């Protein structure tokens, strides 16, 4: 970008003509404020946050065209909503008796039966819930945030990293959980000290310039809370990172007592360092949101918006396209499986690929191969209700996540209702992948029992305060056969474009047709892209 360095006097005495993009932006910012300037920056090609452009506008005249949408999850409802807005006639077929699909919350009084007939009656107190599926909305998932605003779904912060939460291994430090802040501080401190030592001994003379070495030492000292000798040692300085044994107080007899860092070798062997990077990952960086009252609020609101459009209790068993349109054969699961048909000019199929691979559908071999290539990962979530918020009252943990190497993997503390008396629900287990299969193979009762057994090793209060729990294993969820599509780079190279391409009159949508597996944002972006392309084909726009 070229700056105008002309020193010639301006012909206009007072007005300044912006001759560079930078000057123009400064002008816009001064005149109209930061938000407008940011938009201008986007237009001028500086800032680019997400692929979402809100709101989408489907141009052209559909001339009464009809679309059959299969699945009233986030992708299906998004597609239906936008198509209707653009003038299409839309009908949705949904397997469940409610909207939302994997967007779902379980509340006290709910009854849930998984494949195999195991039924759970949720006994949570009023106002308490479990999000068995998605539980987080990253701040950069713009499509989802857009629809939350559109649907008047209130959001509150979700806490991912809590320095007061624990990092735990049954085999390390006698099984005693360590505070996140201690593991974080000690790992950084020891690494910083090591790097400082290497630098001072000349070990980096070849790799790093002298000037950079000085900067590196300064950075390590600050990052690692090193003393003036570049050492990470017990004392007030390191305690400002890892916490004190006795916190500073007020008045007389109020001196703090520093805490003792963990030995580096013990820390390395413990593998507790594996837990302290999650918060650095893009999707897990603050700010993260959750809907007030449960993730299922979004699906419910979307379903209300599409009242009359969704036909529930419809199990699709065949999808057939021809010159004249698309016909879906479905069974009415409420009336003994009587068969019916729904017909439209076009079809947006938002059924998970795990189910779709079992439904006869006359699409070309490439799309069929893509659908058949995807299995869905196992995942489990277990919600446990306790008589009181012992994690707050006894251990000063407010929201956030404890990480453990026990099979339950995490304990997720509720990010709402802080300091309230009375019962609360926490996430007692969340695993994804092969480990989750082990939980899935158990009965729900056994899963809950195991989650309590594991959690009690971290919070002894479990045994005394536990009241009830519910365990959802996604491989046994009747409408998904698993949690989310399992993609690999090789599978994407081979199949992804074929999965997403319009095949005749049919286009697929869902998190499986996105680059954000298992995220609702992926489902929404895939739906928006699918209807945009479909609309272009229909209207020639």
Partner 1 sequence: MNNRLHNSIMTVMLFAAALLVGRAAAAQDMPDFHYQYPQKTGEQIFHGVCQACHMPNAKGAVGAGAYPALAGDKRLAAVSYPVAILVNGFAAMPPFRDNLSAQQTAAVINYIRTHFGNHYHDKATVAEVKAAMARARGAG
- Chain residues 313-372 in contact with partner 1, contact rule CB under 8 A: 315-316, 351, 354-355, 357-359, 372
Q: Does 174 bind partner 1 (CB under 8 A)?
A: no
Q: Does 107 bind partner 1 (CB under 8 A)?
A: no
Distance CA 539, CA 541 (A): 5
- The interface region with partner 1, picked from 219-227, 237-245, 401-409, 460-468 by CB under 8 A, is 401-409
Of the candidate residues 435, 457, 494, 539, the single one contacting partner 1 (CB under 8 A): 435
CB 120 within 8 A of CB 477: no
Q: Applying CB under 8 A, what is the total number of residues that bind partner 1?
A: 73
Min dist CB 355 to partner 1, Å, is 4
CA atoms of 321 and 525, how far apart (whole Å)? 25
Determine the interface stretch with partner 1 among 20-28, 123-131, 148-156, 426-434 (rule: CB under 8 A).
Answer: 426-434
Q: Which of residues 509-528 bind partner 1 (CB under 8 A)?
A: 515-519
Please identify which residue in the block is written with the tokens 């932006």. Answer: 25
Nearer to partner 1, 331 or 395 (CB): 331
Nearer to partner 1, 180 or 390 (CB): 180
Report the candidate in 296, 310, 294, 333 with the shortest Cα–Cα distance to residue 79: 310
Segment near partner 1 (CB under 8 A); pick from 4-12, 239-247, 428-436, 460-468: 428-436
What is the contact mask toward partner 1 in residues 62 to 101, using x (rule: CB under 8 A)?
A: ---------------------------------x------
Return d(Cα 99, Cα 164) in angstroms, integer: 37
**Residue 530 to residue 56: CA distance in whole angstroms:** 12
Closest CA to 328 of 369, 358, 361: 361
Cβ(441)–Cβ(317) below 8 Å: no
Q: How many CB atoms lie within 10 A of CB 228?
A: 7
CA 202 to chain centre: 44
Work out which of 486, 495, 505, 512 binds partner 1, going by CB under 8 A: 486
What is the footprint of partner 1 within residues 252-291 (CB under 8 A)? 264, 268, 273-275, 277-278, 281-284
**Of 409, 427, 506, 530, the one binding partner 1 by CB under 8 A:** 409
Token reading at 520: 């609702």
Q: Does 155 bind partner 1 (CB under 8 A)?
A: no
Residue list 3-62, contact with partner 1 (CB under 8 A): none
Which structure tokens are listed for 502?
A: 């319009």
Q: Is 490 in the site for partner 1 (CB under 8 A)?
A: yes
Q: Is 235 in the site for partner 1 (CB under 8 A)?
A: no
Instruction: From residue 525, give the alpha-carbon distance in Å to each of 11, 62, 147.
Output: 50, 22, 12
Beta bridge partners of 244: 258
Tell me the chain's radius of gyration from C-alpha atoms.
Answer: 28
Site string for partner 1, 177-206 (x = CB under 8 A): --------------x--xx-xx--xxx---
């Amino acid at each position: 970008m070229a700056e105008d360095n002309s020193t010639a006097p301006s012909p206009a005495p007072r007005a300044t003509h912006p001759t560079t993009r930078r000057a123009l932006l400064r002008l816009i910012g001064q005149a109209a404020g930061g938000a407008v300037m940011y938009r201008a920056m986007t237009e001028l090609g500086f800032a680019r946050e997400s692929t979402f452009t809100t709101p989408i506008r489907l141009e052209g005249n559909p001339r009464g065209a009809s679309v059959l949408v299969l699945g009233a999850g986030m992708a299906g409802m998004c597609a239906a909503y936008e198509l209707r807005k653009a003038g299409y006639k839309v009908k949705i077929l949904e397997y469940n008796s409610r909207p939302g699909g994997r967007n779902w919350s379980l509340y006290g009084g709910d009854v849930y039966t998984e494949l195999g007939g195991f039924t759970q009656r949720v006994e949570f107190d009023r106002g308490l819930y479990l999000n068995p599926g998605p539980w987080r909305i990253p701040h950069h998932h713009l499509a989802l945030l857009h629809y939350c605003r559109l649907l008047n779904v209130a959001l509150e912060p979700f806490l991912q990293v809590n320095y007061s939460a624990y990092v735990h291994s049954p085999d390390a430090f006698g099984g005693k959980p360590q505070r996140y802040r201690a593991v974080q501080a000690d790992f950084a401190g020891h690494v910083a000290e090591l790097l400082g030592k290497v630098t001072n001994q000349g070990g980096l003379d070849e790799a790093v310039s002298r000037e950079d070495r000085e900067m590196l030492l300064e950075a390590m000292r600050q990052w690692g809370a090193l003393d003036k000798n570049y050492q990470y040692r017990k004392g007030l300085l390191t305690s400002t990172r890892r916490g004190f044994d006795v916190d500073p107080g007020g008045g007389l007899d109020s001196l703090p007592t520093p805490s003792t860092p963990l030995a580096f070798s013990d820390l390395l062997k413990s593998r507790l360092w594996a837990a302290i990077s999650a918060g650095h990952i893009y999707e897990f960086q603050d700010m993260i949101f959750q809907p007030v009252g449960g993730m299922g609020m979004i699906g419910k609101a979307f379903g209300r918006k599409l009242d009359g459009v969704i036909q529930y209790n419809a199990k699709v068993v065949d999808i057939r396209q021809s010159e004249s349109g698309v016909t879906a054969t479905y069974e009415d699961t409420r009336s003994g499986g009587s068969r019916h048909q729904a017909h439209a000019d076009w079809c947006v199929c938002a059924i998970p690929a795990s189910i779709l691979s079992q439904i006869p559908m006359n699409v070309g071999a490439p799309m069929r191969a893509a659908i058949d290539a995807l299995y869905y990962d196992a995942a489990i979530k277990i919600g446990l209700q306790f008589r009181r918020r012992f994690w707050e009252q006894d251990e000063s943990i407010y929201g956030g996540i404890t990480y453990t190497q026990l099979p339950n993997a995490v304990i997720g503390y509720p990010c709402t209702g802080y300091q309230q008396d009375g019962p609360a629900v926490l996430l007692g287990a969340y695993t994804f992948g092969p480990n989750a299969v082990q939980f899935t193979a158990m009965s729900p009762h056994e899963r809950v029992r195991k989650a309590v057994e594991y959690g009690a090793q971290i919070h002894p209060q479990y045994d005394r305060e536990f009241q009830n729990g519910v365990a959802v294993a996604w491989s046994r969820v009747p409408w998904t056969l698993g949690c989310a599509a399992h993609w690999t780079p090789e599978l994407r190279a081979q199949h992804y474009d074929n999965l997403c391409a319009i095949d005749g009159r049919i286009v697929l949508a869902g998190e499986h047709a996105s680059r954000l597996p298992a995220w609702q944002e992926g489902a929404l972006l895939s739906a928006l892209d699918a209807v945009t392309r479909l609309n272009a084909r229909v209207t020639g726009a």
